[in-house]
Structure 1
Amino acid sequence: MSIRTAVSCALLSAATLAGCSSHAEAPALPALSIDAERVAVVGLSSGAYMATQAHIALSDRIQGAALIAGGPYGCAGGDLNVALGACMTAKPAPPALDPLLSKVRALAAAGNVPPLQGLAGDRVLVLHGAQDDKVAPTVGAVAVEFYRGLVADAPGLQVEATLDGAYGHLLSTAGEGGNCSSSESPFLAACGFDAAAAVFTALYGASPRAPVDAAGTLRKFDQNAVRGDGPEPNLADSGYLYVPPQCADSSCGLLVAFHGCKQNADAVGEAFVREAGFNRWADAYGVVVLYPQTRASFAPLNPNACWDWWGYTGADYDTRAGAQIQWLARALTALGV
Structure 2
Amino acid sequence: MRWIGVLCLGLFAAGAQAAPLPKLKIDAHRVAVSGLSSGAYMATQMQMAYPDIFPYAAIVAGGPYACANGKLDVALSTCMKGAPAADVPTLVTKAIGRADAGDNGALKYLAHGKVYLLHGKEDATVAPAVAEAGAQFYKRLRDTAPGLKGLQVVDDGDRAFAHNLPLREQGDDCHKSVSPYLGHCGFDAAGEVFAQLFGKPLHAVGDAKGQLQTFNQDAYRVNGADPLLAEEGYLYVPPACAAGKPCGLLVAFHGCKQNAAAVGEAFVKDAGFNRWADAYDVAVLYPQTRASMAPLNPQACWDWWGYSGSDYDTRAGVQPRWVAHVVEQLGVAPKH
Alignment partner, residue 30 of structure 1: 22
SS in 1 for 2:283: strand
Alignment partner, residue 222 of structure 2: 228
Deviation >6 Å, runs of 4+: none
Q: Does 1:53 align with 2:74?
A: no
Q: How far did residue 231 of structure 1 move?
A: 3.5
SS in 2 for 1:298: coil
1:6-26 CA-to-partner distances (Å, cap 9, x unmatched) read xxxxxxxxxxxxxxx968642
Contact map agreement 1:178 1:188 (CA 8 A) in 2: no
- 1 CA distance for matches of 2:108 and 2:23? 29
Alignment partner, residue 82 of structure 2: 90
Alignment partner, residue 141 of structure 1: 132
Q: Does 1:271 align with 2:262?
A: no
- 2 CA distance for matches of 1:80 and 1:138? 19
Alignment partner, residue 71 of structure 1: 63
Alignment partner, residue 289 of structure 1: 284
TM-score (norm 2): 0.91
Contact map agreement 1:25 1:222 (CA 8 A) in 2: no
Q: Which amino acid aligns with 1:292?
A: P
Tell me how many residue pairs correspond in the alignment.
316
- 2 CA distance for matches of 1:299 and 1:95? 28
- 1 CA distance for matches of 2:277 and 2:222? 29
Alignment partner, residue 113 of structure 1: 104
Q: How far did residue 210 of structure 1 move?
A: 3.0
Q: For residues 1-337 of structure 1, what are the structure 2 equivalents within 5 Å?
A: 25-91=17-83, 93-152=84-143, 153=145, 154-177=148-171, 179-229=173-223, 231-248=225-242, 249-337=244-332
Contact map agreement 1:34 1:252 (CA 8 A) in 2: yes
TM-score (norm 1): 0.91
- 2 CA distance for matches of 1:274 and 1:163? 25
Q: Which amino acid aligns with 2:82?
A: A
Q: How far did residue 232 of structure 1 move?
A: 2.1
Q: How far did residue 228 of structure 1 move?
A: 2.0
Structure 2 unaligned segments of length 5 or more: list them: 1-12
Q: Which amino acid aligns with 2:30?
A: R
Q: How far did residue 189 of structure 1 move?
A: 1.6
Structure 1 unaligned segments of length 5 or more: list them: 1-20
- 2 CA distance for matches of 1:290 and 1:225? 15
Q: Which amino acid aligns with 2:178?
A: E
1:81-111 CA-to-partner distances (Å, cap 9, x unmatched) read 00000000112x2211111011111111211
Q: How far did residue 28 of structure 1 move?
A: 2.4
Q: Which amino acid aligns with 1:205?
A: G
